[in-house]
Amino acid sequence: MLPCNIVLSSEAMIDKNSFKSGLKRVPAEWEPQEATWLQWPGRWEKDYEDTIAKISDIISRYQALYILYGSDQILEEAKDAILRIGADPKNSNIRWQAANYDNSWMRDNGPVYVVDDDSLKIQNWEFNAWGGGFGSNIPFYLDNSIPDQIGELLKMPVDHIDITHERGNLEFNGLDTVLLNWSTIGDPNRNLGYAKEQAKTDLKKYFGVSKVVFIEGIPNGDRTRGHVDGIARFINVSTAVVLQCTASSLCQPGGKDGRLYDKIAETIKAAGFNVIRDPIESYVEYNGQSFDTNYVNWLVGNGFVIVPGFGNPKTDAAAKARIESYFPNRDVHIVEMLSSWAAGGGVHCHTNDQPAKSILE
């Protein structure tokens, strides 16, 4: 295990000489970004509209933010929400864009950006609303078209991948590795009869990676079937952060989830990576539900990191200090988002990052 106090910065771990001309790869989230994108909540997602407004305000202080809206009414409600939290919906970094979509979880139905032949391309993987994990009545056909809509807006080529999968279950180190949960992509409600060896072959082909690291297992209550962005995250090309249960969390060391996270950490370590364990130091109660204080669903952008907050000053502050050590050259913002967490995810789940063209140089 690599102690937090000697983690090298993400930027220090990037060696552009490692990226040969013509190499296919998916940029890491900490590389320069052109913009962040999100789909503004619709009529049934108003509970976390103010949370999305706070996220939007922070992102727009640092870089361009495309906010998709599904109707004129949603546009006006979005602007009102941003005003309500004391921010400016006319910020020049906010680009409002009409689009057709179903939900506000753009990480999962949005594009995967791939460097291919010295250009950026979009991949559109099939999306079927998390294999029905949140109910069979969740609409998704419009969500499934979002990568095509963005490709048209950006005049960027779109490759269609006939495999059902979500971007929230993909972690890239930007060089040669993709980390993901087999329990998600191998879910028969997503890909019936899909074999792990075939998946490895496909992932290497579509992402240009030489190493596919599969974790496996579903944390208690996770209806995505274990998206990796709520369990383990790369912070540089050679280091991953993995959750760890404590005696103060709902999940317990030696319990089901405790053993699951330990096994995942060992799997990643065996694949050749340094592993830092991020402790779950407590839990909170919200609207009749109980949640562990899991902070790894963060979003990285140009000069900033946004982290889901749980309204617990002690654990929020401790998480902020830890994540500042993971990303020492970025401002870390904690945003309380229990309403979003109760609906299924955090800031990373709501957003989708577009790499900057400068990474091609």
Q: Tell me what the pLDDT averaged over the chain comes to.
A: 94
Q: What pLDDT sits at residue 132? A: 95
Please check the confidence at residue 20 and state whether its pLDDT lies above 70. no
Q: What is the mean pLDDT of residues 128-156?
A: 96
Range of the domain at 10: 4-360
What are the pLDDT digits (tens) for 42-78? Answer: 988 999 999 999 999 999 999 999 999 999 999 999 9
Strand order in the sheet with 112-116: 112-116, 119-126, 158-164
- Comparing 12-21, 113-122, 195-204, which segment has the lowest mean pLDDT? 12-21
Q: What pLDDT sits at residue 117? A: 85
Q: What pLDDT sits at residue 19? A: 52
Alpha carbons within 13 A on the beta-carbon side of 291: 27
Torsion, Cα of 77, 83, 89, 90 (10° steps) = 130
Please check the confidence at residue 10 and state whether its pLDDT lies above 80. no
Please check the confidence at residue 4 and state whether its pLDDT lies above 50. no
Task: Tell me how far apart the alpha carbons of residues 342 and 339 are, in angstroms, rounded to a whole number.
Answer: 5
Q: What pLDDT sits at residue 7? A: 35
Closest CA to 113 of 347, 357, 355: 355
Confidence bin at 115 (pLDDT 50/70/90): very high
Q: What pLDDT sits at residue 23? A: 84
What are the pLDDT digits (tens) for 318-361? Answer: 999 999 999 999 999 999 999 999 999 999 999 999 999 999 98
Q: How many CB atoms lie within 10 A of CB 192?
A: 8
Q: What pLDDT sits at residue 2? A: 30
Q: What pLDDT sits at residue 44? A: 83
Beta bridge partners of 164: 126
What's the structural domain count of the chain? 1
What are the pLDDT digits (tens) for 153-180? Answer: 999 999 999 999 999 999 999 999 999 9
Confidence bin at 131 (pLDDT 50/70/90): very high
Q: What pLDDT sits at residue 312? A: 97
Please check the confidence at residue 41 and state whether its pLDDT lies above 50. yes
Confidence bin at 240 (pLDDT 50/70/90): very high
What are the pLDDT digits (tens) for 83-110? Answer: 999 999 999 999 999 999 999 999 999 9
Three-state secondary structure readout of the chain: CCCHHHCCCCHHHCCHHHCCCCCCECCCCCCCEEEEEEECCCCCCHHHHHHHHHHHHHHHHHCEEEEEECCHHHHHHHHHHHHHCCCCCCCCCEEEEECCCCCCCHHHHCCEEEEECCEEEEEEEECCCHHHCCCCCCCCCCHHHHHHHHHHHHCCCEEEEEEECCHHHCEECCCCEEEEEHHHHCCCCCCCCCCHHHHHHHHHHHHCCCEEEEECCCCCCCCCCCCHHHCEEEEECCEEEEEECCCCCCCCCCCHHHHHHHHHHHHHHHCCCEEEEEECCCEEEECCEEEECCCCCCEEECCEEEEEECCCHHHHHHHHHHHHHHCCCCEEEEEECHHHHHHCCCHHHHEEEEECHHHHC
- Tokens in use for 22? 């013509």
Confidence bin at 21 (pLDDT 50/70/90): low
Cα angle: 328, vertex 310, 128; to 5 degrees: 90
CATH at residue 278: 3.75.10.10
Q: What pLDDT sits at residue 22? A: 59
Closest CA to 184 of 208, 198, 167: 167
Determine phi and psi for 340, rounding to 5 degrees.
-70, -45
Q: What pLDDT sits at residue 18? A: 52
